[in-house]
Amino acid sequence: MATTTASITLSSSDLLSDNLSLSATMNLNKGGTTGTGLDQFRMERFKIATGTQFDVIEATTAASEDANYVYLVNKNTDETHYVIISLWDVVVGRLYAGDWMFIPWGMNDTASEFVIEAEPAGAVCPYEFVLLQEPQTLVAHS
């Protein structure tokens, strides 16, 4: 079975009066299990123009109740260009040029979506995202 590991290292020599260095590593497992890694991986790269709302991950892509993780990075080099992140019609925040996020993400209904919007006027924001998830089981048609 696949093993998927996420790790992050933060270090700074000017944030505090002393140097700061911390690391964390986590295995990404299927919900409710240990040692059973996620099986599906999806990565895409896009560019979106100002004011365009784009469904990064459509409501039917990730199965509800399953373990899903999303990595999103704003690949823009202009520090004034950002993307607005919304989950379930709630604005979560902004990712400026070079900023990224990694979050667990679950879906509770088919109306849920993970949306981004490029700003300010005239901005074109290239971004990348990765979705790590459990495989979906299709329900038999009745």
Note the pLDDT tens digit of each residue in 102-118. 888 765 555 567 788 88
Token pair recorded at residue 27? 């295995």
Whole-angstrom distance, CA of residue 53 vs CA of residue 84: 9
Q: What Å distances lie between residue 122 and 16, 31, 52, 82, 91, CA to CA?
A: 37, 42, 11, 11, 21
The pTM (predicted TM-score) of the whole model is: 0.73
With a cut of 70, which residues of the chain have pLDDT below it? 1-2, 15-16, 51-52, 54, 56-65, 106-112, 135-142
- Non-local CB neighbours of 53 within 8 Å, separated by 6+ positions: 115, 116, 117
For position 132, what pLDDT does the model report? 80
Which residue carries 């520090």 as its tokens? 79
Token pair recorded at residue 135? 């495989």
What structural domains and CATH numbers belong to the chain?
39-133 (2.60.120.10)
User: Do the beta carbons of residue 129 and residue 43 sit within 8 Å?
Assistant: yes
